Amino acid sequence: MKPISIKQTDPETITFTWDDQRVTPMSIRLLRDECPCAECKGETVLMHQILPVVKPKLPGHYSIMKIIPVGSYAIQITWGDTHDTGLYAWEYLRNLHQKQQ
């Protein structure tokens, strides 16, 4: 399962068309709020949980500058505030769409 098309279909939506013909529109706001990187979600290191630091939202927080593929398993989104450390794996994106429903 991987997308065959990723398009911004309106100012607030990215639409993924998958190789199983499923079409999943996704809120840009949801994608940013659910960025999977350690800076945004925290992480566990040697059984100690490190919580994310809450930062103020800078201009461009919810705008997309670019989307690039990462191997054959994910995309990396560069946001308008230059944040770009989240890797959105295909399975993660499909699960996010279900969460959005």
Angle at 42 between CA 37 and CA 47, to 5 degrees: 125
Give me the pLDDT at residue 59, please: 80
Burial of 32 (0-12, 13-18, 19+ CB in 10 A): buried
Domains and CATH numbers, the chain: 3-100 (3.30.2020.30)
Q: Could you tell me if 27 and 77 are in contact, meaning their C-beta atoms sit under 8 angstroms apart? A: no
Q: Would the pLDDT of 41 be above 90?
A: no
Q: Per the confidence metrics, is the pTM higher than 0.85? A: yes
Q: Would the pLDDT of 13 be above 80?
A: yes
Q: Would the pLDDT of 55 be above 90?
A: no
How many angstroms separate the CA atoms of 98 and 31, rounded? 13
How many angstroms separate the CA atoms of 18 and 5, rounded? 7
Alpha helices (H) along the chain: 28-33, 38-41, 90-100
